[in-house]
Structure 1
Amino acid sequence: MAASPPRLQLGCQTYTWEMLGDAYQDGPDTLLEMIAAAGYAGIEITDRMIGHYRDCPQAFATALAQHGLSLVSYAVGSDSGFTEPALLQADLKAAEHAIAFAGRFAGALVSFGSATVMSPGARDDKFAAAASFYNAAGELGRKAGVGVALHPSSHHNTLLFDRADYDAVFARTDPALIGWVPDTGHILRGHKDMPDVLRSYQDRIRYLHLKDVDAKGDWAMLGKGVCDIQAVIDIARTAPNFNGWVVVEEESETAAGNPAAAVKINREQMRDFGI
């Protein structure tokens, strides 16, 4: 008898505020207040936005509980782009810290950012370096009992942009060690057929990032672009390793003007999909 699909829960990603750079002057407690006030059940916080909680997981757990939030995932990037072999050990040390942090929260994962080209060199070598990191980080997660996933992007110099790139990184990484956080906005910017991509690597899906783009590939508010939200949710829900978390991440100009208002609008939008 097939297992029932997991219950869907809605989380909010903090990159919406991180993209403001120095224009965002408040700390992680303000993020928790805004995300909870908007009606989300969970949060995916980045290593750049964790602030004074970086070495204090218990204090962060207390703060989350006070706002009625769960930690969906701890999202981690690197100035190495995870493609510089000389920095592999430093990246793995940071990965070990992130995994230990997430391990204090039941069900929380660690999401590692997109492999990115940071220096000249053969593309195959960049893929090899990225896969070496992702697999080693996945092994650290396995030993700690923490799920680990990669999050490809379409930003400048990403190594993981189109279908060929996805095929290349997934061919080089162990599905038992490293999962996938499909991001609808980034996929739509680099792929002609998003449903095909999602189905091809459905067994890799751990949780879902929802973003939207217009027909030109520019960021749009969720539901205002070309993303077929219901179709994406339907595919994710039948993925064997999907945990039920749908995380909204907003990068549109509307969000840049007022992030709190934008994520609240998105939260209301998702009620139409039963979340």
Structure 2
Amino acid sequence: MSTASIPSSGDRRPVADRVAGAPISWGVCEVPGWGFQLEPDTVLRQMRELGLSATEFGPDGFLPDDPQAKAATLAGHGLKAVGQFVPVILHDPGHDPLPEVERAMEGLVAAQASTVVIAAATGQEGYDDRPVLDDSGWSALLGNLDRITDAAAAHGLVATLHPHVGTMIESGEETERVLTGSRVGLCLDTGHLLIGGGDPVAIAQSNPGRIVHTHLKDVRVDWARRVRSGDVTYTEAVAGGMYVPLGEGDVDISAIVAALEGSGYAGWYVLEQDTILTGPPAAGGPDPVADVRASIAHLLAVAGDPSTAGA
């Protein structure tokens, strides 16, 4: 795996300086019909007021398309760029995902970000269903991940694969096959792995050297089981409250952070609490600011960091 741009443990900053936001915690999502979408100025202003110093880009259309304008928008709010979630089709031998990834990387380089976060898209809208990969599909997917890894390194970026519910790579078993069969780094998404039937603690403990980016989520396992059984769709579970602030669900955030920090992890912790809003936040409904504030406080507490970073 390429190690371009991965900070070493020797220059590792405190955890409080490696906490980033993500627009999905404010309900901003690439899925059509996901829910009410807040304006970028509101989301970015609230991130900064919470003490966050960086964010991922969010879906296409959230920030300006022009790479320089994208970077300028974040800088205007006092935020740095961390990376971008890029869902692309990797498993189709007749489809080349590199042009799409290259366009995303232009914006990342302009904003001096470090990470391109790849998800193995199904080619269908949403995350409620997915086909099954055959041997040809696996071969194409793993080969494309290595091609993307090399292209990212050529831009001074790090490529990671994000296991994600409703994509071609969602489970712990599929994640292990990616780690064994390719050189790409891993974006450890603690929520999606649990929902997909994996064990995020075990992966953090057994593969710390491959984890170069982290999406911290907490989920209620009762909802996760209903998604796996087919009793509800992923979208229905999100709307029902499957994702909760760190420390209020069933993911052992403390064990994951301990495993990563103990191995010398120097990357970002991106706070992601997938949220669906039905309108502007109001009393009695989801409150992204309160939820992110609670997650920051919990992360710093389990990391043993005395800083409040706005919590």
Q: TM-score range by the shorter chain?
A: 0.7 to 0.9
Given the superposition, is the C-alpha separation of residues 87 and 115 from structure 1 closer, same or farther in structure 2, using an over 3 Å criterion? same
Match of 1:84 in 2: 92
**Unpaired stretches in structure 2, ≥5 consecutive residues:** 1-8, 125-129, 225-241
Q: Which amino acid in 2 is paired with 1:259?
A: P
Given the superposition, is the C-alpha separation of residues 137 and 122 from structure 1 closer, same or farther in structure 2, using an over 3 Å criterion? closer
- The reply to whether residue 162 of structure 1 matches residue 162 of structure 2 is no
The root-mean-square deviation of aligned C-alpha atoms, in Å, is 2.8
Question: Following TM superposition, by how much is the alpha carbon of 1:143 offset from its aligned partner in structure 2, in angstroms?
Answer: 1.2
Please tell me whether the aligned partners of residues 46 and 74 of structure 1 are also in contact (alpha carbons under 8 angstroms). yes
* Larger RCO (CA within 8 A; separation ≥ 6): 2
- The reply to whether residue 68 of structure 1 matches residue 78 of structure 2 is yes
Question: Following TM superposition, by how much is the alpha carbon of 1:50 offset from its aligned partner in structure 2, in angstroms?
Answer: 3.5
Please tell me whether the aligned partners of residues 117 and 126 of structure 1 are also in contact (alpha carbons under 8 angstroms). no
Please tell me whether the aligned partners of residues 205 and 239 of structure 1 are also in contact (alpha carbons under 8 angstroms). no
**Unpaired stretches in structure 1, ≥5 consecutive residues:** none
Please tell me whether the aligned partners of residues 219 and 253 of structure 1 are also in contact (alpha carbons under 8 angstroms). no
- Three-state SS of the structure 2 residue aligned to 1:247 is strand
Q: Alpha-carbon deviations, 1:22-62, whole Å to 9, x = none? A: 543444333211221222121012333534x222x322323
Q: Partners in 1 of 2:202 and 2:300 — Cα distance? A: 26
Given the superposition, is the C-alpha separation of residues 127 and 5 from structure 1 closer, same or farther in structure 2, using an over 3 Å criterion? same
Q: State the TM-score, normalizing by the size of structure 2.
A: 0.74
From 209, 214, 227, the counterpart of 1:203: 209
Please tell me whether the aligned partners of residues 237 and 244 of structure 1 are also in contact (alpha carbons under 8 angstroms). no
- The reply to whether residue 113 of structure 1 matches residue 149 of structure 2 is no
- Three-state SS of the structure 1 residue aligned to 2:19 is strand
1:75-154 paired onto structure 2 within 5 Å: 75-78=85-88, 80=89, 82-88=90-96, 91-116=97-122, 122-153=133-164
Question: Following TM superposition, by how much is the alpha carbon of 1:139 offset from its aligned partner in structure 2, in angstroms?
Answer: 1.1
- The reply to whether residue 235 of structure 1 matches residue 259 of structure 2 is yes
- Three-state SS of the structure 1 residue aligned to 2:94 is helix
Question: Following TM superposition, by how much is the alpha carbon of 1:250 offset from its aligned partner in structure 2, in angstroms?
Answer: 0.3
From 241, 255, 273, the counterpart of 1:250: 273
Match of 1:10 in 2: 19
Q: Which amino acid in 2 is paired with 1:24?
A: F
Q: Which amino acid in 2 is paired with 1:84?
A: D
Match of 1:219 in 2: 243
Please tell me whether the aligned partners of residues 39 and 264 of structure 1 are also in contact (alpha carbons under 8 angstroms). no
Q: Alpha-carbon deviations, 1:121-152, whole Å to 9, x = none? A: 65222222221221111111111111111111
Bigger mean CA offset, 122-131 vs 260-269: 260-269
Given the superposition, is the C-alpha separation of residues 50 and 108 from structure 1 closer, same or farther in structure 2, using an over 3 Å criterion? farther
Match of 2:234 in 1: none
Q: Partners in 2 of 1:86 and 1:68 — Cα distance? A: 42
Given the superposition, is the C-alpha separation of residues 121 and 21 from structure 1 closer, same or farther in structure 2, using an over 3 Å criterion? closer
Q: Which amino acid in 2 is paired with 1:58?
A: Q
Q: Partners in 2 of 1:232 and 1:100 — Cα distance? A: 32
Q: Partners in 2 of 1:107 and 1:252 — Cα distance? A: 25
Given the superposition, is the C-alpha separation of residues 238 and 114 from structure 1 closer, same or farther in structure 2, using an over 3 Å criterion? farther
Q: Alpha-carbon deviations, 1:149-169, whole Å to 9, x = none? A: 11111x23x322323211211
Q: Which amino acid in 2 is paired with 1:231?
A: A
The percentage of counterpart residues that share the same residue type is: 24
Please tell me whether the aligned partners of residues 219 and 250 of structure 2 are also in contact (alpha carbons under 8 angstroms). yes
Match of 2:57 in 1: 45
Given the superposition, is the C-alpha separation of residues 160 and 239 from structure 1 closer, same or farther in structure 2, using an over 3 Å criterion? farther
Q: Partners in 2 of 1:223 and 1:210 — Cα distance? A: 11
Match of 2:239 in 1: none
Question: Following TM superposition, by how much is the alpha carbon of 1:70 offset from its aligned partner in structure 2, in angstroms?
Answer: 1.2
Given the superposition, is the C-alpha separation of residues 99 and 238 from structure 1 closer, same or farther in structure 2, using an over 3 Å criterion? farther
Question: Following TM superposition, by how much is the alpha carbon of 1:245 offset from its aligned partner in structure 2, in angstroms?
Answer: 1.2
